[in-house]
Structure 1
Amino acid sequence: MSAVLQPSSRMDPTAFLAWEEHQPGRHEFVDGEVYAMSGATSTHNTIAGNLYMALRQGLRGTPCRTHIEGVKVHIQAADSVLYPYVFVTCDPVDLTPERDTHKTSPTLVVEVLSPATAAYDRGRKFELYQQLPSLKEYVLVEADRPHVDLFRRNAEGLWVLHPAGPGAVLDMASVGLSLTLDQVYEEVDFDLSRAFLQDRIEPSAGPAAS
């Protein structure tokens, strides 16, 4: 679970980005607070890796780029900085050297859920991501069962839920790619994942990363 840190002085997002480059671990910046991020499980890494590879291969030859875990998203309208599990950006500005460690205009964001983070990822974190004008789809992937919730922004600016269960196809229209849930969950052992995640259930009101 993440913990709130107390830097030596109050920071804004620009100062946070400069500070975080010199830290040994990863941190998120939300509502003026700095949160140290905890580690992920091998199941989370497998799911994120499956999505990253499929998106990266599927988007070859396009202006879009896929990023995994270590690259931040700066939500300027919310003065917040987050680490998505996987995201895609198609904005040329995000390809410049000034945007090497953080991006500002993702088209698609993917988060892999755990019991400790699910409420936050579905609630406050989603509220933050919705303040990105570029964002078209927000994908929440369960780690203990084959289920994905994809939220797509419609023409009226409303977010519409498109759930996908066993045997379904995950249609990521924002980037023109579709994956079966078998591809999303390749090499995932759900029995092992459920047993491990159950042991890690704990209340969480703020950012966490596992």
Structure 2
Amino acid sequence: MSSIPARPFVSIEDYLSGEVESEVKHEYLAGHVYAMVGATNAHNLIASNVLGLLHAQLAGRGCRVFNSDTKVRLRREHGTYFYYPDVMVACTLNPLEETFQDSPVVIIEVLSDSTGRTDEGEKREAYLSIQTLEAYVLMEQALKSAVVYTRGDSGFLRQEYGAGERFELPIENLSLELDRAYEGLAI
């Protein structure tokens, strides 16, 4: 009978220093490190479009938009986690020499066949536990579609949007038009 070898525990310090030198991104889940898969051109185009649209709207304001090279750190009851969201907006910023943000207000993930389940399950649960988070957005790759979770008085509210629609993000005068987010894709 064979057994699956246990993953070795990795300290936060070793993880962060290793990520600086690694050619492959890894997510950190309470002491365990997992390599990330690459993304398709469609995935990157959507994420880049969204990043550009949000950056233009946030120019001259205190909030900043970050791409998938910046991690979000979550300190949860059962350990510390680091994820790489596709797009993230933060208004309370960590020092420039750090490689992560602690207080995002918006997180956007572009779904793929390999990551969709995690983005809609494990990551959604983790992200919605962030005290500063006001919106979590899941965007499809194969069709103009977004599921948006926004913080309400009694928790997060879920809404769906499709082609031709625009939705507001809970930061003053910040919105996303789906047709522009999917510009360059024949869907």
Residue identity (%):
32
**Structure 1 residue 173: Cα displacement:** 2.2
Partners of 1:18 and 1:175 in 2: how far apart? 36
Partner residue in 1 for 2:124: 126
CA contact (8 A) 1:138 1:150 kept: yes
How many Å separate the matches in 2 of 1:105 and 1:42?
Answer: 29
Per the alignment, residue 54 of structure 2 pairs with 55
Give the TM-score normalised by structure 2.
Answer: 0.90
1:86 and 2:87 aligned? yes
Structure 2 residues not aligned, in runs of 5+? none
Name the structure 2 match of 1:117: 115
Structure with the greater relative contact order (CA < 8 A, sep ≥ 6): 1 or 2? 1
Q: Specify the code of the residue in structure 1 equivalent to 2:91.
A: C
CA 1:179–1:76 in 2, change beyond 3 Å: closer, same or farther?
same
Give the C-alpha shift of residue 18 in structure 1: 2.1
Paired residues of 1:12 and 1:79 also in contact (CA < 8 A) = no
Distance of 1:81 and 1:98 partners within structure 2: 16
Paired letter, 2:19: E
| Pairs within 5 Å for 1:9-28 | 10-28=9-27
Tell me how far apart the structure 2 counterparts of residues 128 and 81 of structure 1 sit (CA, whole Å).
10
- Alignment check: 8 A CA contact 1:13 1:81 kept: no
The whole-number CA distance in structure 2 between the counterparts of 1:132 and 1:115 is 26
| Structure 1 gap ranges (5+) | 191-210
Q: How many residues align?
A: 181
Kept in 1, the 8 Å contact 2:166–2:178? The answer is: yes
Do 1:55 and 1:66's aligned partners in 2 also have CA atoms closer than 8 Å?
A: yes
CA-atom RMSD in angstroms:
1.8
Distance in 2 between the 1:27 and 1:145 partners? Answer: 28
Name the residue aligned to 1:163: 160
- For 2:16 and 2:136, locate their aligned partners in 1 and report how far apart those are by CA, in whole Å: 24
Q: Which amino acid aligns with 1:39?
A: G
Q: TM-score, normalised by structure 1?
A: 0.80
Give the AA of the match of 1:71: T
Amino acid at match of 1:169: R
1:41 aligns with 40
1:175 Cα offset (Å): 5.1
Give the C-alpha shift of residue 12 in structure 1: 3.1
Give the 5 Å matches for 1:169-188. Answer: 169-174=166-171, 176-188=173-185
Q: How many angstroms apart in 2 are the aligned matches of 1:180 and 1:20?
A: 34
SS of the residue 1:76 aligns to: strand
1:145, distance to aligned residue in structure 2 (A): 0.6
Q: Aligned pair in 2 of structure 1 residues 22, 161: CA closer, same or farther (>3 Å)?
A: same
1:21: Cα distance to partner? Answer: 1.4
Q: 2:151 aligns with which of 137, 149, 153?
A: 153
Letter in 1 for 2:15: F
**Aligned counterparts, 1:60-79, within 5 A:** 60-77=59-76, 78-79=79-80
Please name the residue that 2:135 is paired with. 137
- For 1:90-123, what per-residue CA distance to the aligned partner results, in whole angstroms no more than 9, with x for missing partners? 004x2x2343x11111000000001222111110
Q: Which has the higher helix share?
A: 1
Q: Runs of 4+ in structure 1 displaced over 6 angstroms?
A: none
Give the Cα separation in 2 of the matches to 1:176 and 1:88.
14
Greater share of strand = 2
Deviation at 1:15, TM superposition (A): 3.1
